[in-house]
Amino acid sequence: IAHALEKYDLPSEDLLVTLVSFPISLPGIVAAFMILVLFGNNGVVTALAAALTGSRPTDLAFAVSVPGLFVAFVYSMVPRATLILRGTYAEVDSAAEEAAQALGATPFETFRYVTLPQIRPGITGALILTFRTGLAIFGTLVVIQTLVVWTLQLSRELGVGYDVQVAGAMATVYFAFTFLFTVLGLRYTSAEVGI
């Protein structure tokens, strides 16, 4: 999405940017309810697909499953990654891309050997941001409740009658994992910038 928005003159580009960035203004819980309304047992898309295929809506609904959770997270995370990568693409040296193409490189080779090394730090930054944001979204998990994952389990442990030792141990592991992921990601980004 970022590549298309920065490299091509798309029709209605301002509208596309607005549509892509809009989900940032919504909390994760709103995205989760949207998935339920669209793809739940009585969801709009589910009912339409059932009417077209003759299947039962309950056979097609996937809102309260791993794919439903995936769609909710993608809806929430794509705008964040896109905005970071648009800034990264804006800094790409187009003269180097043109030189590669003039020397006979295919568009894929130009992307792989010229563009990708320049945008790799932005990709790493987008990955860190979306991964850490995804770990912090309690609302989506609470609404969809597809499976017991650590953030949802941690939320349950912090509820009424929680076990202090279990919640503390989970929070410590959660913090250590997120911190190490961030340190490794930033080290990788620093190494790429230094090249």
- The reported pLDDT for the residue numbered 99 is 92
Task: Output the pTM of the full model.
Answer: 0.66
- The reported pLDDT for the residue numbered 92 is 87
Residue 168 has pLDDT above 80, yes or no: no
Fold of the 2-194 domain: MetI-like fold (1.10.3720)
Residue 78 has pLDDT above 70, yes or no: yes
Of 132 and 162, the structure prediction assigns the larger pLDDT to 132
Q: What is the pLDDT of residues 11-52, one digit of tens each?
A: 888 888 888 888 887 777 777 788 888 888 888 899 899 899
Percent of the chain whose pLDDT exceeds 90: 9
Ranges of each domain in the chain: 2-194
pLDDT tier, 106 (very low <50, low <70, confident <90, very high otherwise): very high
Q: What is the pLDDT of residues 60-70, one digit of tens each?
A: 888 877 788 78
CB 133 within 8 Å of CB 80: yes
